[in-house]
Chain A
């Protein structure tokens, strides 16, 4: 098998990689926003469960989370397909990281913005939705891109729960032909081509947004 044949063979798994990414975003973005805002606004004992949920999703290794839900939900009578479990666990893991950036962005916003909004008679919710969140969106753009990269990289793990993504295709190909340098080189190349533009974009946004708001972007990337 030539390198290009191997590379095209690996790309057959691209649709699974992209599908899990897309559904993962559906979990990650709402979870990050809701959890981050809740953690910022709730006080006292009400805040504890929110923190606990965020820490559960953030401080447990993603591979363990994925296996945990993939194998435990059927025992509890819940039957989800692998795509759903993968998208949910990856999405919520990344979303939990994102929630910390949401909270950092909320804290970093000038207090005068909220006070001015309240002074002209808006409710707290209106202030949040029409004043704080739009301004945060810009500040959070670099973090969003970086977390997106983590999410795409995380989809490599779905190969371990029987799904045929790019990584799984590479393993299949390695059974057809013995050429590890070409197979795993092509796999690296596929992810590199997919994510390098995003990495450069994230770095560029970090510089632009960082310069404009004059501070380091809060939060850090996940670990997949």
Chain B
């Protein structure tokens, strides 16, 4: 999309239309949606601020010292004007669309900031009067849809406006793979919102039926409350650590599914492989008479091996007999759960009237193993990263500094050809040195609650695995073979790649990754004890599918989406304790919907998600053709392309 003549450059009709839709929605939303939340009580009853003025009160209580949000409201008028300007710019496809969008975005952000300041100062006043933090209503406040939508519209308009310049067009183009996951999330969020509206009555303390307007506002606030609470763990360190704790097993299972996907295999056997990993880790971690330095790696390896074994079976069956790995992995899930019950459920079993004993189940009623030996336990992150100086607890910045050092040295020396051989080694050595020096000296002060977090170093194992999977798939010939089999088994075979061997390899590695997820639950003590326990949530094996699809089967994507879903899982616990009609499986529904919508390509046309190469469009640069003829130009070029590609 080269800009031929900079004078006549203007946003494409699609970009302008997108910006216009968002802007009009935001204009409408500014008036009909709440502007901000002043308070949510413990039962999620709301006190809402409206724009341009007025309160909506669902609590039924009278409030003293309501925060003065006048400043935030007056900035709202600026936002309103900016939105109107943006709408005009989008309508006329003006080249200054991005400026108007930027002003909208900034003014909305300023209004949000001022709103937060007003709440903070109201809290400060009450604190000064000696009111306890839990009794101050304004702690639970924040911005609402009325202000968030203009910010969003501003953001969209900025990018829509900037996309007219070829530099920005190319930059945005590189983000195109994110489109389907993002649209899928958005659609799932909308469906989830409808579900919440249907199942949960409005938390109402008014002792009277609500008017239609209040009903509308209340339902909207309910949805907003649910989603903000789902993402709330990200707003503080303890919550973030909890999210990472939920994310850790998802990283493993997501990587496992992604690796199999890349080889064209679908591994739904996560639960079984995780279970077998757990059992193998238990056998080594509890019973192996090894010295501590050997025991830890041996236990980790056992977990991987247990999962690998369970993954290899369907791999071999597929390669040897051609039976579907989908059904076999599912069957193996059920068998693994039976094996688990056999090992942990009871100490005795009877075969044909003769009774045998098993040593694995610990004494007592609960089905769990004996404790892992101290040498087979993974450190908690808080203990590993944290240190105290005097009364204050710190989180170490050592790993961050070490990484920064590595990056600085490695890329800093990239220009020097003479250093090419040594820069990796040098950078690693320096990074290790910096890490060692700063581990217990440089840190961020945090509250001591953080040391209670059960987040453990299996997260580090997970991140290392992510790096290794990335390296394997894109930097080694073995990985090339795996991906070739995934793209086209026939072509790979023709190219001299042993297809069945690679299928077995992929399933084995995938199973090993799934098995490693068990390190989090057993060696890491994520379930409060360093044991193999019956309540190990093996369903994370299925969640791995969602994580992998969301992360586009790339290691980085898997890590990011694992953190996202870990956050949702953590946030859902809070939602459920407050709203009695919402089940925590609403998150499961959201995940399923995301898979559904990603499978459907976000209902987007192929022209948008997978556009033809620009070379084909070169003859129809949209910047020159008038608005009316453009759709023809765009639709004709891709259709040539699809026919050239032929049936798939």
Decide whether A and B are members of one complex: no
Which residues from chain B sit less than 8 Å from chain A, CB to CB? none
Taking Cβ atoms with an 8 Å cutoff, the residues of A that contact B are: none
